Amino acid sequence: MTPLWTSDEIAAAVGGKASAAFAVSGVAFDSREVGPGDLFVAMKGEAADGHAYVDTAFAAGAAGAIVSTPVAGPHVLVEDSFAALRALGKAARARGSAQIVGVTGSVGKTGTKEALFHALDRAGPGGAHRSVKSYNNHVGVPLSLARMPRDSAFGVFEMGMNHAGELADLTRLVRPNVAIITAIAPAHIEFFDSEEGIADAKAEIFEGLEPGGTAIIPYDSPHATRLYNKAERHAARIWTFGTGKGADVRAIEAVPSESGGTLVTATLPGADICFTIGAPGDHWVGNALAVLAAVEAVGGDLAAAGLALAELPGLPGRGARTILHVDGRQALLIDESYNANPLSMAATLRSLSREKAVRRVAVLGAMKELGTRSADLHAGLGDPIEAARVDYAILVGPDMAPLAERLAGSVSVAHVADADGARALLRDAVQPGDAILVKGSNSIGLSRVVAAVTAAYAAKADGEQA
């Protein structure tokens, strides 16, 4: 099996010196994620120094390490381990011939990245590579690049930001052939003067486009013209996606399917396609159109992409659906606990409204980094909650106080201080026939609520005491 990297290749890429010959099959910077054959990159951070965990990494099976201080095991010695990781990522990008797609946006980044990976990999299993989890920052992006096999046909990389200038740096590292912006919303608006400022920061992704590259932007966004104008400076080709009649990749028809997904007929610059989206929600129509645009732009197989979209499973924290067993009957738990902003909250609440349920329950955590608009944006969730016909809302965190006040008298509401309060409340509140949505910013910790409730009602199904 061809190694991902040899010690000589690593040393040449990062400008370091190898202590011994070795070869690796993976790369990690967290010793808890190291597996047999991995390269461990020991970096000095604000909270911890990775060099303290080198022995742990070798005990877990690491084949070598990048270090800035000599260690006992096989290693490549460098002056700066973080700079070495970036250099290794650049070398991975330079050595292959993969078509690279960069994905950013205020919402839908990870889901679109995962769907695009499966769409490209469906036609040639093993030929596509993508960033895992939400490794989309100044450390995660070079790590994801460094992990890309040399013979990859496609690479899909998620890029995030919460300040201007961050995407400009990441996209020049990734050098995408295709750059996607999924949507613009007031996520991280605490750090910007306006949504226009967010749009400008997201549009930085186009600055790294390779010559002849394609920009893919959301046609239905109020910021579409702004994004288009920025893309024109860097892209050889610009495609828009959406439901509006002027979109280059357009959903002509989108009909809810019996399974909870959507049946879509779409037109693209080079083909028309009918396909099914397995994941529920209107927002997935836009995500799927962006995926198909990227597949066509890199010369992928549209038919295989359509099959992949039908088969795409829900991701933990991003739409995973779990059946709970309650008194011999069932309830549905929808896990959207990883992140939240006003746009994504409204979209998932619309999806909740379509669930066939005796009762609709929404466990909603506070949305972070909204700055001075926080109170108004939280209170603004009242309309989509009422439109979704939510019967019971559990609101989590002090920032949710304006929403609790807004909903008083129209929806049954419980307002708790933290995720532990929500966990205790929801465990006792689940009823047969419920459809339960759990969504909030990741820092609120609602994934713990999902895990606890899932475990409790799985245990009940097995006849155990919850």
* Mean pLDDT lowest among 67-76, 131-140, 227-236: 131-140
Full set of structural domains in the chain with CATH = 5-81 (3.40.1390.10), 96-311 (3.40.1190.10), 320-461 (3.90.190.20)
Q: In whole angstroms, what is the distance from residue 86 CA to residue 244 CA?
A: 40
pLDDT, one tens digit per residue, over 157-175 is: 999 998 899 999 999 999 9
Q: What is the mean pLDDT of residues 325-329?
A: 91
**pLDDT over 70 for what percent of the chain?**
98
Spatial contact of 157 and 120, defined as CB atoms under 8 Å apart? no
Q: pLDDT at position 135, please?
A: 87
Measuring CA to CA, which residue among 121, 118, 209 is closest to residue 167?
209
Confidence of residue 134 (pLDDT cuts 50, 70, 90): confident
Task: Supply φ then ψ for residue 156, to 5 degrees.
Answer: -125, 120
Q: What is the mean pLDDT of residues 209-229?
A: 97
Q: pLDDT at position 254, please?
A: 93
Q: What is the mean pLDDT of residues 260-273?
A: 92
Q: In whole angstroms, what is the distance from residue 164 CA to residue 161 CA?
A: 7
* Tokens, residue 444: 């609120």
Q: In whole angstroms, what is the distance from residue 175 CA to residue 94 CA?
A: 10
Q: pLDDT at position 281, please?
A: 79
Q: What is the mean pLDDT of residues 43-49?
A: 87
**β-strands 38-41, 64-67 pairing:** parallel
Task: Supply φ then ψ for residue 394, to 5 degrees.
Answer: -105, 115
Q: Which residues contact 51 (CB under 8 A, 6 or more apart)?
A: 42, 44, 67, 68, 69, 71
pTM score above 0.85? no
Spatial contact of 360 and 353, defined as CB atoms under 8 Å apart? yes
* Mean pLDDT lowest among 45-49, 304-308, 383-387, 452-456: 45-49
CA 92 to chain centre: 22
Spatial contact of 71 and 51, defined as CB atoms under 8 Å apart? yes
Q: pLDDT at position 287, please?
A: 95
Confidence of residue 459 (pLDDT cuts 50, 70, 90): low
Task: Read off the DSSP letter of residue 397.
Answer: S
Q: pLDDT at position 460, please?
A: 52
Q: Does residue 315 register a pLDDT over 80?
A: no
HSE toward the beta carbon, residue 337, CA cutoff 13 A: 24
Looking at every residue in the chain, the average pLDDT score rounds to: 93
pLDDT, one tens digit per residue, over 331-373 is: 999 999 988 889 889 989 998 998 889 999 999 999 998 989 9
pLDDT, one tens digit per residue, over 428-449 is: 899 999 999 999 999 999 999 9
Q: What is the mean pLDDT of residues 273-292?
A: 91
Confidence of residue 466 (pLDDT cuts 50, 70, 90): very low
Q: pLDDT at position 260, please?
A: 74
* 158 three-class SS: strand
